[in-house]
Chains A and B, each alone.
Chain A
Amino acid sequence: MNAAAGSSQLEVEDLRVRFTTPALDLTAVDGVSFRIEAGEVFGLVGESGCGKTVTCRALIRLFGGSPPSAIGGTVRFAGRDLATLDERAWSALRGSEISMIFQDPMTSLNPTMRVGTQIAEGLQRHRGLTAREARAAAIEMLAAVGVPAAERRHLDYPHAFSGGMRQRVLIAIALACRPKLLIADEPTTALDVTVQDQILKLILKLRNDIGMSVLLVTHDIGVIAQTCDGVAVMYAGKIVESGATAQVVNRPAHPYTRALLAALPAHTRRGDPLRPIDGEPPNLAEPPPGCRFHPRCTFAIAACREIVPAPIEVEAGHRSACLRAGEIG
Chain B
Amino acid sequence: MSAPRAKRWQRLAGNRNLQVGLTMLAVLLLAGAFGPWLVRWDPIEIDFAAALQRPGAAHPFGTDELGRDVLARVLAATFVDLKVVAVCVVLPFFIGSLIGLASGYYGGWFDRALMRLVDVLLAFPHYVLVIAIVGSLGPGIANLYLAFALVVWISFARIVRAEVLVARRAEYAQAARLLGYGHARVMLRHILPNVITPAIIFMMSDVVLTILAVTSLGFLGLGIQPPTPEWGLMIAEGRTFLQDAWWISVFPGLAIVYVGITFTVLGEGLDDFLRPKG
Q: In the complex, what residue of chain A is closest to B165 when comparing beta carbons?
A: A65
Rounded to whole Å, the gap between the CB of B117 and the closest CB of chain A is 23
Q: Are the C-beta atoms of B180 and A126 separated by less than 8 Å? A: yes
Binds B, one of A28-36, A86-94, A192-200: A86-94
Residue A107 contacts which of B168, B172, B182, B193 (CB distance < 8 angstroms)?
B172
- Would you call B48 an interface residue if the criterion is a C-beta within 8 Å of the partner chain's C-beta atoms? no
By size class, the interface of chain A is 35 or more
Residue A94 contacts which of B107, B168, B178, B193 (CB distance < 8 angstroms)?
B178
Rounded to whole Å, the gap between the CB of B181 and the closest CB of chain A is 6
- A residues less than 8 Å from B175 (CB atoms): 100, 102, 108-109, 170, 173
- Would you call A110 an interface residue if the criterion is a C-beta within 8 Å of the partner chain's C-beta atoms? yes
Interface string of A211-248 (1 = CB under 8 A from B): 00000000000000000000000000000000000000
Tell me the bound Cα distance from A174 to B180 in angstroms.
11
- Would you call B194 an interface residue if the criterion is a C-beta within 8 Å of the partner chain's C-beta atoms? yes
* Residue of B179, B182, B190 with highest tally of chain A CB at under 10 A: B179
Q: Are the C-beta atoms of B178 and A95 separated by less than 8 Å? A: yes
Q: Which of A260-275 contact B (CB under 8 A)?
A: none
Tell me the bound Cα distance from A238 to B89 in angstroms.
56
- A residues less than 8 Å from B178 (CB atoms): 60, 62, 94-95, 99-100
- A residues less than 8 Å from B171 (CB atoms): 102, 104, 107-108
Residue B169 contacts which of A65, A96, A121 (CB distance < 8 angstroms)?
A65
- Would you call B1 an interface residue if the criterion is a C-beta within 8 Å of the partner chain's C-beta atoms? yes
Tell me the bound Cα distance from A276 to B178 in angstroms.
35
Residue B174 contacts which of A62, A153, A160 (CB distance < 8 angstroms)?
A62
- Would you call B2 an interface residue if the criterion is a C-beta within 8 Å of the partner chain's C-beta atoms? yes
By size class, the interface of chain B is 20 to 34
Contacts A65-B168, A93-B180, A95-B181; is A113 near B193 (CB within 8 Å)?
A: yes
Q: Are the C-beta atoms of A173 and B172 separated by less than 8 Å? A: no
Q: Are the C-beta atoms of B177 and A110 separated by less than 8 Å? A: no
Rounded to whole Å, the gap between the CB of A44 and the closest CB of chain B is 18
Q: Are the C-beta atoms of A91 and B2 separated by less than 8 Å? A: no
- Would you call B133 an interface residue if the criterion is a C-beta within 8 Å of the partner chain's C-beta atoms? no
Q: Are the C-beta atoms of B182 and A91 separated by less than 8 Å? A: yes
Interface string of A303-322 (1 = CB under 8 A from B): 00000000000000000000
Tell me the bound Cα distance from A108 to B171 in angstroms.
5
Rounded to whole Å, the gap between the CB of B277 and the closest CB of chain A is 14
Rounded to whole Å, the gap between the CB of A190 and the closest CB of chain B is 11
- B residues less than 8 Å from A60 (CB atoms): 178
- Would you call A155 an interface residue if the criterion is a C-beta within 8 Å of the partner chain's C-beta atoms? yes
Contacts A111-B172, A113-B193; is A94 near B2 (CB within 8 Å)?
A: no
Q: Are the C-beta atoms of A107 and B170 separated by less than 8 Å? A: yes
Residue B180 contacts which of A90, A107, A153, A156 (CB distance < 8 angstroms)?
A90
Q: Are the C-beta atoms of A125 and B181 separated by less than 8 Å? A: yes
Tell me the bound Cα distance from A111 to B174 in angstroms.
14
Interface string of B181-223 (1 = CB under 8 A from A): 1100000001001100000000000000000000000000000
Tell me the bound Cα distance from A108 to B190 in angstroms.
12
Rounded to whole Å, the gap between the CB of B16 and the closest CB of chain A is 25
* Residue of A107, A112, A125 with highest tally of chain B CB at under 10 A: A112
- Would you call A152 an interface residue if the criterion is a C-beta within 8 Å of the partner chain's C-beta atoms? yes
Q: In the complex, what residue of chain B is closest to A60 when comparing beta carbons?
A: B178
- Would you call A122 an interface residue if the criterion is a C-beta within 8 Å of the partner chain's C-beta atoms? yes
Rounded to whole Å, the gap between the CB of A183 and the closest CB of chain B is 9
- Would you call A279 an interface residue if the criterion is a C-beta within 8 Å of the partner chain's C-beta atoms? no
- B residues less than 8 Å from A111 (CB atoms): 172, 194
Contacts A64-B169, A64-B174, A152-B2; is A95 near B194 (CB within 8 Å)?
A: no
* Residue of B168, B175, B177, B193 with highest tally of chain A CB at under 10 A: B175
Tell me the bound Cα distance from A156 to B171 in angstroms.
20
- Would you call B162 an interface residue if the criterion is a C-beta within 8 Å of the partner chain's C-beta atoms? no
Tell me the bound Cα distance from A117 to B189 in angstroms.
11
Tell me the bound Cα distance from A325 to B174 in angstroms.
40
Contacts A64-B169, A112-B193; is A94 near B176 (CB within 8 Å)?
A: no
- B residues less than 8 Å from A62 (CB atoms): 174, 177-178
Residue B176 contacts which of A92, A104, A110, A174 (CB distance < 8 angstroms)?
A110
Tell me the bound Cα distance from A135 to B83 in angstroms.
41
Rounded to whole Å, the gap between the CB of A219 and the closest CB of chain B is 18
Q: In the complex, what residue of chain B is closest to A65 when comparing beta carbons?
A: B169
* Residue of B168, B169, B181 with highest tally of chain A CB at under 10 A: B181
- A residues less than 8 Å from B176 (CB atoms): 110
Residue A91 contacts which of B4, B170, B180 (CB distance < 8 angstroms)?
B180
- A residues less than 8 Å from B193 (CB atoms): 110, 112-113
- A residues less than 8 Å from B177 (CB atoms): 62, 94
Q: In the complex, what residue of chain B is closest to A157 when comparing beta carbons?
A: B4
Tell me the bound Cα distance from A94 to B185 in angstroms.
15
The 11 sampled A-B contact pairs (Cβ below 8 Å) are A62-B174, A62-B177, A102-B174, A109-B172, A109-B175, A110-B176, A110-B190, A112-B194, A121-B181, A152-B1, A156-B2
- Contacts A102-B174, A111-B172, A174-B179 known; 8 new A-B pairs at CB < 8 A: A65-B168, A94-B180, A95-B178, A107-B172, A108-B172, A109-B175, A152-B1, A173-B179
Q: Write the residues of chain B forming the contact surface with A, with a CB cutoff of 8 angstroms.
A: 1-2, 4, 107, 168-172, 174-182, 190, 193-194
Q: Write the residues of chain A forming the contact surface with B, with a CB cutoff of 8 angstroms.
A: 60, 62, 64-65, 90-96, 99-100, 102, 104, 107-113, 121-122, 125-126, 152-153, 155-157, 160, 170, 173-174
